[in-house]
Amino acid sequence: MKIWYDVSDLVGWKLPHLTGIQRTTVGILNGLVEQGGSVGLVRYDAKAGRFSAISAAELPANVRCHLRGFAAAEPDTASAESARPGPLPAAKAAARPGRRKLKLFKKGFFFGGAGETEEMRNAFRQFKTAARQLRKSIGHWAKRRLRRASRPGQPLAPPSHMRGLGGHGMPALSGKDVAAFAAPGDALVSIGATWVMPGHTEAVASVRCRGVKVVRMIYDLIPTIKPQWLEPAHTRAITAWVRSVLCESDCVLTISEFSRQEIERYCAECRFDVPPITVVRLGDVMGEASGPESPSPRPRFAPTRPFFVCVSTLDVRKNHRLLYDAWTQLAARRGDACPDLVCIGTPHLYVADLLREIRQDRAVNRHIHVLHGIEDCELEWYYKNCQSTIYPSKYEGWGLPVAESLGHGRMCLASNATSIPEISSDLPAFFDPFDVHGLVALVERVLDDPEWVHDREEIIRQNFQPTSWHETATQVLVAIDAPAEQSRRSVWPRLSRGNETTESVEIPSGRTLKAA
């Protein structure tokens, strides 16, 4: 059996760093290749409506630099190596102070004083937000017009690649196209963000009709059951994708017992048959992480005061509003002794007003710093030098930053909502994500009781066992090989060393891996 791994959402990846789902896609791929299995890469071609096999060399350099198993086999490793982050801009600026002075002179000349500069920045941010919203509105308007235009008369004829399957609406892939990358008995593993690709689910269904086992991932059902946090068009698109995954997959992977229960509840509400579901524990070891004693490169922005770190996309459900309210109280109580808060993540939907409040609030705007585009080596520095990490999310499918924080042996203040306690039931200091006073009390205890923090971090280092992507890939292999009746379970039940089990998991290569 050969595993064909869907990298469709990596082919056009443009950011210099990987975000959550893409980090998972690359991590599991590395783990599968490390185990010596037969793994090939495929991508979905939206124009042709079919999958095609590709090599790792066809992925962008900013993705190839994160691949370990394929790099040695591909001839174009030099360009992938060159895509690795070089010296940080701050280091360059420190080496050449003259350039920094020239930059500051230009900034003052063109933009004026600090107040004028901030006013121009705010105006530019509002312009970008309005332009982005206008583009989305035009796209939604055009789609609605096209749908209305196709209703009154004869329905529009499907494209040529979608004809020939008895009107089922699935791409009619020729035998040559499918045989080029898959054969009956192989497996297609698709765990990326493919809900944004029109026709992808139909192409998967067509491949499955030819005897290929389809394994797909549902991280959570947030867009479907919590539509208030997304735009209506996204909710509709992702809900249709979720239904397709549930009805047209041989095995569905998910990332927590909480998500599994949500999926089963949703299937019951929709009167679907519950598909085979396997819970896998995501890897939380950051690639090429330095050891606890080795210094990490200083980031471009380094706080001068004691600081806390929140690593998370800026989103309504991530609950940065609670952090703002907590720091408002801390600034009022502690004055100049108020710690800093570093929020690392890309702003998402419906947070523009909150960010504007933070920027304009003179009591906290010098204490709350919102950063994005942070490299892994910089993130390492923040983890190692913060007072504690904070994760206030209202709703999660897993909560990877909590696991990463514990993996670094650091104190973690975490929300007790949804799946987050599954990461470790006793090592973080939990709080209610709607209780600002409870969070303020924990932050002040971290600041005022260093002995408590030291003792808790010692317990974390002794008891938390990080999960490698090799282990996550092992769970995926078990799910691929498991008969349908054995797939409705977690293949990686342990939470931390404090509640180990002695169950053994047999992986396809014949090796036995102890589930801890």
The one-letter amino acid code at 281 reads R
Number of domains in the chain: 3
pLDDT of 93 above 80: no
Using the 3D structure, point to which of 279, 297, 317 is the last residue of a domain.
279
Q: What is the pLDDT of residues 479-509, one digit of tens each?
A: 998 875 555 555 544 444 444 443 444 444 3
Q: What is the pLDDT of residues 422-473, one digit of tens each?
A: 999 999 999 999 999 999 999 999 999 999 999 999 999 999 999 999 999 9
Closest CA to 200 of 186, 214, 187, 213: 214
What is the rounded average pLDDT for all residues in the chain?
80
Residue 156: pLDDT band by 50, 70, 90 thresholds?
very low
Whether residues 126 and 166 share a domain: the answer is: no
Whether residues 326 and 262 share a domain: the answer is: no
- Compute φ and ψ for 160, nearest 5 degrees: -60, -35
Q: What pLDDT was estimated at residue 372?
A: 87
CA distance 419 to 415: 10
Q: What pLDDT was estimated at residue 315?
A: 92
Whether residues 53 and 170 share a domain: the answer is: yes
Contact 219, 398 (CB under 8 A): yes
Range of the domain at 108: 88-158
Using the 3D structure, point to which of 107, 123, 158 is the last residue of a domain.
158
Q: What is the CATH number of the domain that holds 272?
A: 3.40.50
CA distance 397 to 389: 19
Q: What pLDDT was estimated at residue 340?
A: 98
Q: What pLDDT was estimated at residue 148?
A: 63
Whether residues 345 and 447 share a domain: the answer is: yes
Using the 3D structure, point to which of 106, 130, 158 is the last residue of a domain.
158
Q: What is the CATH number of the domain that holds 428?
A: 3.40.50.2000
Q: What pLDDT was estimated at residue 464?
A: 95
Q: What is the pLDDT of residues 232-256, one digit of tens each?
A: 999 999 999 999 999 999 999 999 9
Q: Enter the DSSP assignment of 376.
A: H
348 occurs within a structural domain: yes
Whether residues 379 and 446 share a domain: the answer is: yes
Whether residues 72 and 174 share a domain: the answer is: yes
Strand order in the sheet with 187-190: 50-54, 39-45, 3-6, 187-190, 213-217, 251-254, 277-279, 489-490
Whether residues 330 and 453 share a domain: the answer is: yes
Contacts of 225 by beta carbon, 8 Å cutoff, 6+ apart = 262, 266
Q: What pLDDT was estimated at residue 319?
A: 97
Closest CA to 356 of 12, 194, 30, 125: 125
Closest CA to 247 of 210, 283, 202, 212: 202
The predicted model scores a pTM of 0.75
